[in-house]
Amino acid sequence: MQVLELIIFAGLAAIVLYQLYSVLGRRVGRQPEDQPAAEAARGGVRPVEPPIEPVDEGVALTGLAAVKALDPTFDVSRFLGGAKSAYEMIVRAYAEGDRATLRNLLAPDVLASFEAAIDQREAEGRTETVEFFHAPRADLEKADVGPGDMGRVTVRFLAEFRSRSKGPEGEAVDDRRTAELWTFERNLKSRDPNWTLVHVDAAEA
């Protein structure tokens, strides 16, 4: 009887020990090596944020801002004051046939057209002088920067002057009121501060 009881107790002990081993031998909780598997079970690879692209904060400047960016000393009032003086000087030089003065102020193509008109007037035996009633009015029309850091500024001039001409037919006096758009150009990186007249257009008065 005692032997039978011992066999029964031994069998129960073996069963209990096996169950304990089955429980204690398992890994409890999520282990470090289980991380990839757990993430894969939730949907695969851990999401990766896209790289942040660098933002280019540079803005392409245009107009007057572009001119001042290359030449911080550019002042509209001072420029218009100089433009008015240049306007009177060029108009007088053209009337008097002063080619030397014009060469210093005009671009080659503008100079060519002025000289052609002067040549024709001289061939016809006529002379001309100009008298301004008052200083011309000058307003900034537009400004910008072109290739090669060339600044271009267009000024709208309103002027009133008296033209006196003499020729084979006698003397004539003509009071004029003109409205024109003159475009001046200068390399803004150059040390030369002088602007050159590169284009002339008629404008509405």
Average pLDDT over all residues of the chain: 81
Domain CATH number, residue 94:
3.10.450.240
Structure tokens at 140: 């900034």
Sign of CA dihedral 100, 102, 104, 109: negative
- Please give the average per-residue pLDDT across 193-199, as a whole number: 96
Q: Is residue 39 part of a domain?
A: no
The answer to whether the predicted template modeling score (pTM) of the entire model surpasses 0.85 is no
Kindly indicate the confidence band of residue 61, based on its pLDDT and cuts at 50, 70 and 90: confident
Q: Please report the pLDDT score of residue 1 as a whole number.
A: 47
The helix (H) or strand (E) run that includes residue 187 is strand 170-187
Pairing of strands 170-187, 127-132: unpaired
Q: Is 28 inside a domain boundary?
A: no
Tokens matching residue 60: 């392409």
Tally of structural domains, the chain? 1
Residue 93 domain flag:
yes
Does a structural domain hold residue 41? no
Alpha helices for the chain (secondary structure H)? 2-24, 35-41, 63-70, 76-96, 99-105, 108-123
| Count of beta carbons in the 10 Å neighbourhood of residue 74 | 17
Question: Does the pLDDT at position 175 exceed 90?
Answer: yes
> Mean per-residue pLDDT for 29-54?
45
In a domain, 20, yes or no: no
Sign of CA dihedral 151, 156, 161, 165: positive
The pLDDT, as a whole number, for residue 40 is 41
Residue 139: band (very low, low, confident or very high) from pLDDT cuts 50, 70, 90? very high
Report yes or no on 9 lying in a domain.
Answer: no
Quote the pLDDT of residue 59: 59
pLDDT digits over 9-28, tens only?
444 444 444 443 443 344 44
pLDDT of residue 51: 47
Helix (H, G, I), strand (E, B) or coil at 6: helix
Greater pLDDT, 81 or 39: 81
Q: What is the CA radius of gyration of the chain?
A: 45
Portion of the chain with pLDDT greater than 90, in percent: 68
165 lies in some domain: yes
- Average pLDDT of 185-190? 96
Residue 92 has pLDDT above 80, yes or no: yes
Pairwise CA distance, residues 92 & 170, whole Å: 21
Q: Does some domain include residue 30?
A: no
Range of the structural domain that residue 195 is part of: 63-202
